[in-house]
Structure 1
């Protein structure tokens, strides 16, 4: 039986685009990694959940920042049979107006990210989770662009574990 790697699945799903792009971090890049498109595939989502769990099972709940992190958190939640948490990017003007959906207080939370560049989205998620009482020591990213996120998170006493690094996607 031939096992397809996550790297191969992302390439086949056309998750790597070339052109001129502005990333969420504000940086310019000639490479865009479109994980959101790739994770619309159930096979890729299942593979990501499997890869995440092969690297870390020491958590009480898994969290993702909206939008890209939410399907990742749900897939890991289902695979691990553990709760998931959604982190909104901004407060709603109605209802409970909380940025956190789910229980985090006193729990070990694994934060999952689609792509990390500078680490800004992950830092936002970590800050929100910690302010709600969550214990965050680990972030797993589907792809790390190797542009500073690892150091940024290390400065917060958080370990970044990428499933794939960008250079592996573009060089093979």
Structure 2
């Protein structure tokens, strides 16, 4: 699957949004990835995650782990492709941890996955959780890399598609200068609802 094919799936499912967005960092951007909108379709979720897992076939991955919430479905489908177990880490009192009885055997090889990587913070937190639990991080992967090539997890990293993250300080934002209202993703639907996408 080529990068263009991946982006076409994101576009047809409304997962790649174009407009004027206020990011968590306070910066503004003209593009936002809402992976939940593509992962709601099992067919695409399975297809994308199978591609994501492909480079790790034959590497004796025993567990695929992701952060809640964005990494849960990605980890599940990647684990299915690798015939591995699936677990997820979640925040408890603000700290990423394993709950729900999830455990790792000493030295168990783990692939850490995420939907979108920008700064890589959530992935690093899951890496730390895995290592504290005795696991061995064999690699990392994400559906979308928006880090501009800056993330380094110290282990192999694979992304299905790399999309440069263009963002602006509010006072320098050309979208603001054009009078376009900024939308905080999740606060309202910035794109029209999509029906079942055509293949």
Q: Distance in 2 between matches of 1:35 and 1:149?
A: 21
Structure number with bigger Rg: 2
Decide which moves more: 58-67 or 12-21.
12-21
* Pair 1:24–1:53, CA change in 2 (3 A): same
Q: Distance in 2 between matches of 1:21 and 1:103?
A: 38
Higher RCO (C-alpha 8 Å, min separation 6): 2
Q: Distance in 1 between matches of 2:26 and 2:134?
A: 30
Q: Distance in 1 between matches of 2:27 and 2:132?
A: 28
Cα distance, 1:148 vs. partner?
5.4
Pick one of 81, 84, 90 that aligns with 1:82. Answer: 84
Is there any run of 5+ residues in structure 2 with no aligned partner, and where?
165-199
* Pair 1:25–1:52, CA change in 2 (3 A): farther
Q: Which has the higher helix share?
A: 1
Contact persistence 1:113–1:141 (CA under 8 A): yes
Decide which moves more: 17-26 or 141-150.
17-26
Mapping of 1:87-102 within 5 angstroms? 87-91=89-93, 99-101=97-99, 102=102
Cα distance, 1:7 vs. partner?
2.5
Mapping of 1:31-46 within 5 angstroms? 31-46=31-46
- TM-score after normalising by structure 1: 0.79
* Pair 1:113–1:85, CA change in 2 (3 A): same
Q: Does 1:112 align with 2:116?
A: no
* Pair 1:28–1:125, CA change in 2 (3 A): farther
Q: Distance in 1 between matches of 2:109 and 2:131?
A: 10
Cα distance, 1:25 vs. partner?
5.7
Is there any run of 5+ residues in structure 1 with no aligned partner, and where?
93-97, 168-172
- TM-score after normalising by structure 2: 0.69
